[in-house]
Structure 1
Amino acid sequence: MTAADILALFPSTFLNFLIAFGLGAVFWVAGLVIVSLATPHAELALLRAGNLPTAVAFGGKALGMVLPIAAVARSAAGPLDQIIWCVVAVGVQLVVHLILSMLLPGRLKEEIEADQIGGGAIFIAFMQVGAGILNNAVMSG
């Protein structure tokens, strides 16, 4: 393939990139909002206030959420396929979040109120990332 051929294809491939990236970004943000709604505290307000346990736990959620969404963006057969699998990716991360909330009831809340990072925030962050890595591997084929 020559440089001229590549340049001729660029507009259509760039449009595909924009669509895939846009869908991924929308699902990443929407997924984080959905998971945040399932928490008993206002994570965004706590993040703005500089609460460290919230930052650690939410950072793990954000990374865990984007990993499978990235896998889907890479392997989807088209926009509809990407949307379907992004919904699955967000759903998996939400289920992991809910399970962790049941396993550690009140632990993260205590750390947030004390604004001290402890085992709860770190454990939640690593488990969310771990779930995202597993989800990514399964979704990327």
Structure 2
Amino acid sequence: MDLTYYLQTLDHFFIYLVTSMVLFLIGTYIFKWITPYSERALIKAGNIAVSLKLLGKMAGLVVVLQSAIRSSINLIDLVLWALIAIIVQIVLHLVIEYVFTRNTNLAKEVENGNTAVGLFLGGVSVLVGLIVAATISY
């Protein structure tokens, strides 16, 4: 085991880690920004449905980011693929939540504490993240 090699690449690890965390926070912030209610307040009040939905969104973002990290050839490549994937993830989430379920206000259901809807939407976010992540390749 060549310890020198690992010490020489440690800076790359930290740069990618910090960049990925910033991208994760940006994606999470955008999801929170487009949500019509305060997720923080509802989670603090014990709304499990909101918590499940937000956790699913965050997990979907992580899946997309890990794929961008694995497929990137440099830091700029990582940022570009991650931003594209985050945008696609958000657009697909909006399409699924608002277009395919026009007759039901899913956001209102989650806000009212419908755990089944929160879990469904969180799960959909993870599944969409897996699909988007699989498309990031060379």
- Work out the CA distance in 1 between the residues paired with 2:80 and 2:109: 37
Query: What is the TM-score normalised by the length of structure 1?
Result: 0.86
1:20 maps to which residue? 16
SS in 1 for 2:81: helix
After TM superposition, the structure 1 = structure 2 runs for residues 47-126 of structure 1, keeping only pairs within 5 Å, are: 47-102=43-98, 103-104=100-101, 105-113=104-112, 115-118=113-116, 120-126=117-123
1:32 maps to which residue? 28
CA deviation profile, 1:25-51 (whole Å, cap 9, x unmatched): 111111011011111011122222221
Runs of 4+ in 1 over 3 A off after TM superposition: none
CA RMSD of aligned residues (A): 1.6
1:10 maps to which residue? 6
Sequence identity percentage: 27
Query: What is the TM-score normalised by the length of structure 2?
Result: 0.88
AA aligned to 2:130 is I
Task: Kindly state the Cα deviation for residue 111 of structure 1 after the two structures are TM-superposed.
Answer: 3.6
Structure label with greater radius of gyration: 1
Match of 1:138 among 131, 135, 138: 135
Aligned length: 135
| Structure 2 unmatched ranges of 5 or more | none
| Structure 1 unmatched ranges of 5 or more | none
AA aligned to 2:108 is K
Task: Kindly state the Cα deviation for residue 10 of structure 1 after the two structures are TM-superposed.
Answer: 1.9
SS in 1 for 2:115: coil
**2:89, 2:129 within 8 Å by CA — same for their partners in 1?**
yes
AA aligned to 1:133 is L
Moved more, 37-46 or 78-87: 37-46
- Work out the CA distance in 1 between the residues paired with 2:66 and 2:127: 15
CA deviation profile, 1:39-86 (whole Å, cap 9, x unmatched): 101112222222111011111101111101011112211110001011
**1:43, 1:54 within 8 Å by CA — same for their partners in 2?**
yes
1:129 maps to which residue? 126
